Homo-oligomer: A and B are copies of this chain.
């Protein structure tokens, strides 16, 4: 590594900026590393904020402490990391040629010299046009956003809330208000189902039904038309209905904070985030970018993407630190793995949704399965609903999405991420090796079962959407009596022959086309194959009645 002493200046003391700073300083202890941060409090686990609001985490300060109980403040970074943090100091301008950064803070205005400059300015909440500036209309993005809401709940001043946007943050915040505090929560989403960025509507419908079962009033397909402040609250007009609440939380996503980058003349990408190469270099010499403000390359589309995820910011920061210190590192394509807990549902996804790919003109196939997440006889086995999106031509897997009552969903998505990053096919997913024991997994990994469903579909054994209209279909229900009692199937015409009797009662089969249903979508797929061998046209209900019961 190079031994020329350098002065590194980093704007932004969140995950990417601080990881980068500490990494440079570790590898090059003789260098000067300064981080400029506009806020007084920094280096906290912002992803934990919804759980402070809910009370799962007792105290906001916990998010800012090391595992051994020390606050990560300026003194910590100086003493432990040898990194200088200037906070609260705002970066106000960059002189690219002169290699200086203008900053403003408690001590007035200053110029800071740098040899290498890192922009790690993160993201800011997106705003909806026309919203009133008022205490009753809030965002939930930074440290200071938590306390007013929590105090309002504790004092009983907030009894009702409208959360605008059912994305990752919106769903978490809705749960936080409702679960411990029992607030009256309305969640308003413009798309047809919650979490549209990561879930297709077959999975989103499961989240929707669960939110409603937890007492959240969900308004989907409802862009917000107006928010007005009234004498005793805030009135939200959406989908033709007006509701009045104590507070409105706007959670319609974030945008990259690129004001400083733009002022410095850095090129932005098509997503609006800062364009960087694999070494996180911007288009200006000696200026770099990392974290939410920087664009990434998406492994599925191959194109640029804006993926403001804490996990990526951490890895980018470390990689950039290595590069700046003179080492070998790069930051490659990302698959967009994400997870979120919504009440008792565990939700995770990776890759692209079918909806987004189809919107971009790509032809994709989708399959859905219900599966136990452990051996089915294991007492703690829980149902996982998994969907796969694939390219029928190349057989490449483009996305995997999961919703489950057990936490095992995130495990499957982590495994899927590795395969999707490596352009894996449906067959590669069939071959997944996993650590099997009854308390941890079934003998065949649910991802293998999911990939088998995709193989079947490519082979002509097709499932229909768990949300399909059955009211006009001729449905063949192959479940046993007990299962039918739990969840009867609606149908245009209904024929009930359990799978073990089919071969003997084949003469009772109605003419096709048939829609075959079972509990998880496994037996019914087998029956479809068997029927097609007998020349009967049939498809099966993807994910079976287990999925449908949770979605419709």
Residues of A within 8 A of B (CB): 15, 26, 29-30, 45, 47-48, 51, 56-57, 62-63, 65, 67-70, 75-76, 79-80, 82, 168, 309-315, 318, 332, 334-335, 337-341, 346, 348-350, 372, 375-379, 407-408, 410-411, 413-415, 417-419, 421-422, 430-441, 443-445, 448, 452, 479-480, 482-483, 499-501, 503-504, 519-520, 523, 526, 529-530, 533
Contacts and interface: CB of A to CB of B under 8 A. Distances in A.
B338 A82 contact: no
Given A26-B526, A338-B435, A414-B414, 20 more contacts: A15-B443, A29-B529, A30-B533, A47-B437, A57-B378, A67-B376, A67-B519, A67-B520, A68-B483, A311-B441, A315-B430, A318-B452, A339-B440, A348-B435, A348-B440, A349-B435, A350-B435, A410-B441, A414-B415, A415-B415
A178 to B, nearest CB: 17
B410 A29 contact: no
Contacts of A421: 433
Nearest to A56: B379
A143 to B, nearest CB: 14
A479 B70 CA distance: 11
A26 B67 contact: no
Report, nearest first, the 9 A-B pairs whose CB atoms are least far apart. Answer: A311-B436, A339-B435, A411-B411, A337-B435, A79-B500, A410-B440, A339-B437, A418-B418, A67-B376
A444 B407 CA distance: 18
A443 B312 CA distance: 8
A107 to B, nearest CB: 24
A8 to B, nearest CB: 17
Contact of A67 (B341, B372, B415): B372
B346 A440 contact: yes
A437 B50 CA distance: 11
A443 to B, nearest CB: 5
A541 B368 CA distance: 47
Contact of A334 (B26, B63, B433): B433
A538 to B, nearest CB: 14
B407 A439 contact: yes
Output the residue of A69, A408, A414, A526 with the most chain B CB within 10 A. A414
A377 to B, nearest CB: 5
Contacts of A62: 377
B45 A440 contact: no
Contacts of A349: 435
Among A67, A375, A479, A500, the most chain B Cβ lie within 10 Å of the Cβ of A67
B434 A337 contact: yes
A410 B438 contact: no
A69 B417 contact: no
B15 A48 contact: no
A259 to B, nearest CB: 26
B414 A435 contact: yes
B441 A314 contact: no
A265 to B, nearest CB: 31
A45 B372 CA distance: 14
B411 A80 contact: no
B311 A444 contact: yes
A70 B433 contact: no
A379 B62 CA distance: 11
Given A480-B69, A520-B67, A418 B438 contact: no
Contact of A503 (B79, B350, B533): B79
A519 B415 CA distance: 29
Contacts of A348: 435, 440
B48 A378 contact: yes
A319 to B, nearest CB: 8
Nearest to A172: B437
A340 B68 contact: no
Given A51-B378, A377-B57, A341 B29 contact: no
A480 B433 contact: no
A79 to B, nearest CB: 4
